[in-house]
């Protein structure tokens, strides 16, 4: 029999922590990009659009309506019966608790009914591992996670081995995009809308702040930027209308300010990452040149932004880093990344008990594997 690390696993993933109801089935070995046999992502954007943001109660109900069907569809598309599954990986947090509960209860019920191991996955670990869905990405790497709910810089040293280098002290980057878009009446979700409007605007028209710029601890702050946008707009509009020209120029100025903050904070995180333990030591790393681990992974919905990607590309060129960005479908919330985290955990025999609790808050650093690497891989 193959050891767990060499075995091929088939895993169902379930994701319901925000406003995407998603299921996916992967097949593969630990550490290798898996075959994605099937995936379904049902966005609830239409349910929330009238409110200009995700309404937790509506999201939870929509997950309850959509999830069973999404799972059935993935099994059908993968032409698999449940007895072929080796594990069910489900987001157990962090996120909107109603949605997390729907997913986790469903995952537990299926694990029990089908007699398949359960893997309770941290949503952030899914994002952290998402580049490995399509490209073999060796540990360690520096992760910039920029989504609607999260804005973090993390040193990813291995599965379950994460060090938080910086985080936001108020809003997440995606949240700043969403709130700023709402302010200008550009619709929801705000990120793609701002990027579209910005493409025709002048980024130098408005002078906006770059909060925390230059500070050595790579934290983020975006709420002041949003306030500055409101003030600058009030001044520019006066008694007149908010013209398309103003919207375009403000979208471009805002996007440029966010890009500056992200690249400056990431540059500071690179320095910390290079001092860190995962970068300098660990199995197999010593023999390789240090530059081999100069790798920045950008994940989360905001990583879909082309302007921000090019700013990060320029930073990486300057610092000698390789930039890895998952394909857009895996930058935003999806179940394939949850299934991948589950597959990796399954290969380490890090199974979850059926009474595992959902968590609205769950820092990535609290996902350490209970079983040491050497013992679990056998
Ligand atoms: O990762 P994600 O799908 O969900 C969360 O876990 O939050 O990220 C959604 C966030 C939203 O705030 C959305 O406005 C932002 O990502 N986003 C973008 C772009 N596309 C999505 N932000 C900037 N530019 C984009 N093109
Ligand atoms: Zn997410």
List per-residue pLDDT tens for the chain, 378 residues long: 568 888 999 999 999 998 889 999 999 999 999 999 999 998 877 777 777 778 888 888 988 889 999 999 999 999 999 999 999 999 999 999 999 999 999 999 999 999 999 999 999 999 999 999 999 999 999 999 999 989 999 999 999 999 999 999 999 999 999 999 999 999 888 999 999 999 999 999 999 999 999 999 999 999 999 999 999 999 999 989 999 999 999 999 999 999 999 999 999 999 999 987 666 655 554 544 444 589 999 999 999 999 999 999 999 999 999 999 999 899 989 999 999 999 999 999 999 999 999 999 999 989 988 754 444 443
**Comparing C-alpha atoms, which of 174, 184, 173, 186 is closest to residue 233?**
184
Q: Is the CB of 18 under 6 A from ligand 1?
A: yes
Tell me the C-alpha distance between 309 and 354, whole Å: 40
Q: Is the CB of 148 under 6 A from ligand 1?
A: yes
CB-based contacts of 62-66 (< 8 A; 24+ apart in sequence):
62/19, 62/21, 63/16, 63/21, 63/98, 63/99, 63/102, 63/103, 64/102, 66/21, 66/42
Predicted local distance difference test score (pLDDT) of residue 278: 63
Predicted local distance difference test score (pLDDT) of residue 13: 98
Compute the distance from residue 145 Cα to the ligand 2 centre, in Å: 9
List Cβ neighbours of 61 (8 Å cut-off, separation of 6 or more): none
Q: Is the CB of 189 under 6 A from ligand 1?
A: yes
Give the number of other Cβ atoms within 10 Å of residue 112's Cβ. Answer: 12
Judged by DSSP in three states, 10 sits in strand
Q: Which ligand is nearest to the CA of 15?
A: 2
Judged by DSSP in three states, 152 sits in strand
Nearest residue (CA) to ligand 1, atom 16: 301
Compute the distance from residue 15 Cα to the ligand 2 centre, in Å: 9
Q: Which ligand is nearest to the CA of 44?
A: 1
Predicted local distance difference test score (pLDDT) of residue 376: 42
Q: Is the separation of the CB atoms in 247 and 184 below 8 Å?
A: yes
Please state whether the predicted TM-score (pTM) of the whole model is above 0.85.
yes
Q: Which ligand is nearest to the CA of 180?
A: 1
Compute the distance from residue 121 Cα to the ligand 2 centre, in Å: 12
Residue identified by tokens 């702040």 is 209
- What atom of ligand 1 comes closest to residue 181's alpha carbon? 14
List Cβ neighbours of 114 (8 Å cut-off, separation of 6 or more): 82, 83, 85, 88
Predicted local distance difference test score (pLDDT) of residue 60: 85
Compute the distance from residue 240 Cα to the ligand 2 centre, in Å: 39
């Amino acid at each position: 029999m193959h050891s767990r690390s060499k075995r091929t696993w088939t895993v169902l993933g379930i994701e319901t922590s925000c406003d995407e109801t998603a299921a996916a089935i992967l097949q593969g070995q630990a550490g290798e990009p898996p075959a994605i046999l099937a995936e379904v992502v049902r966005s609830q954007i239409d349910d929330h659009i009238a409110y200009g943001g995700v309404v937790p109660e509506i999201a939870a109900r929509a997950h309850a309506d959509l999830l069973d069907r999404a799972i059935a569809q993935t099994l059908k598309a993968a032409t698999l019966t449940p007895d072929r599954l080796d594990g069910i990986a489900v987001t157990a947090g962090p996120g909107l608790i109603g949605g997390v509960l729907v997913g986790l209860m469903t995952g537990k019920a299926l694990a029990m009914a089908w007699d398949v191991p359960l893997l309770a996955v941290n949503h952030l670990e899914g994002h952290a591992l998402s580049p490995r869905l399509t490209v073999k990405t060796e540990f360690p790497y520096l992760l910039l996670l920029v989504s609607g709910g999260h804005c973090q810089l993390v040193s990813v040293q291995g599965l379950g081995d994460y060090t938080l280098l910086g985080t936001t002290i108020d809003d997440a980057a995606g949240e700043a995009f969403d709130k700023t878009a709402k302010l200008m009446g550009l619709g929801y979700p705000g990120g793609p809308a701002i990027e579209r409007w910005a493409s025709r605007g002048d980024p130098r028209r408005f002078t906006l702040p770059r909060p925390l710029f230059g500070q050595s601890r790579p934290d983020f702050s975006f709420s002041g930027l949003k306030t500055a946008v409101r003030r600058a707009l009030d001044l520019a509009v006066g008694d007149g209308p908010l013209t398309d020209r103003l919207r375009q120029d403000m979208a471009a100025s805002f996007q440029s300010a966010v890009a500056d903050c992200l690249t400056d904070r990431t540059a500071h995180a690179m320095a910390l990452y290079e001092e860190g333990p995962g970068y300098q030591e660990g199995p197999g790393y010593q023999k390789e040149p240090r530059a081999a681990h100069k790798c920045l992974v950008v994940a989360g919905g905001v990583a879909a932004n082309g302007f921000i990607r090019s700013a990060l590309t320029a930073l990486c060129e300057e610092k000698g880093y390789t930039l890895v960005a998952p394909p857009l479908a895996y930058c935003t919330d999806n179940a394939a990344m949850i299934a991948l985290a589950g597959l990796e955990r399954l290969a380490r025999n890090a199974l979850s008990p059926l009474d595992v609790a959902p968590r609205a808050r769950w820092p990535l650093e609290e996902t350490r594997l209970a079983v040491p690497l050497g013992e679990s891989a056998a």
